Amino acid sequence: MAIMKVQIITPEEEVYSGEVDVLVAPGTEGQLGILPNHSPLMTALQQGTIRVTKNGSDQSWNVTGGFLEVLSNQVMILAEEITVD
């Protein structure tokens, strides 16, 4: 199974960095579900919840907006502001 690396950063700090099984994020066109081997993608984020799942355990954050990029099993989220859910 492919490994997907996720990095979530704000202007102030790196909030999360690690390997995950699934990422769900609030895209401007609706919820995005990202799995390993996802096609390349770049989109804006709207206010909502980012959730990552690793080995059946979830972790989530509230985001005010930003951008998400998927490329070669790596997901980069540049968030305007983020708080722990």
Domain boundaries, the chain: 4-84
pTM: 0.93
Neighbours of 68 (CB within 10 A): 24
- Find out if CATH 3.30.930.10 is the number for domain 4-84: no
pLDDT tens over the chain, length 85 residues: 678 999 999 999 999 999 999 999 999 999 999 999 999 999 999 999 999 999 999 999 999 999 999 999 999 999 999 998 7
